[in-house]
Amino acid sequence: MNKIHLCIDALTADVADKLAQESCATVTEALQAFMQTKTYELLFDEKSLLYVESAEYVFDMLLAEQGGNWEYWAEV
């Protein structure tokens, strides 16, 4: 596994944990919900460089996506 994939895996776990805490769900439920988002899809697009951002940044993107704030999301 290369360093990019390690970063993506770590970010995925951190964002799922934050989402679980925010939504009072299990980490598994939060991970499943996260995996259905465009933010998650973009995280795996190495050209986006989203994997170099912090978990807080990715989580904020996720919240913006879920809230329908596409202006914020589209800036990335």
3-state SS track over the chain: CCHHHHHHHHHHHHHHHHHHHHHCCCHHHHHHHHCCCHHHHHHCCHHHCHHHCCHHHHHHHHHHHHCCCHHHHHCC
Q: Which residue has the tokens 């050209």?
A: 47
- Write out the residue range of the structural domain in which residue 48 sits: 3-74
Per-residue pLDDT band at 1 (split at 50, 70, 90): low
Task: Give the pLDDT of residue 73.
Answer: 62
What is the per-residue pLDDT across 6-47, written as a single tens digit (0 to 9) for each?
Answer: 999 999 999 999 999 999 999 999 999 999 999 999 999 999
Task: Give the pLDDT of residue 69.
Answer: 78
Task: Give the pLDDT of residue 68.
Answer: 85
Radius of gyration of the chain measured on its C-alpha atoms: 12
Number of domains in the chain: 1
Name the token pair of 8. 């993506």
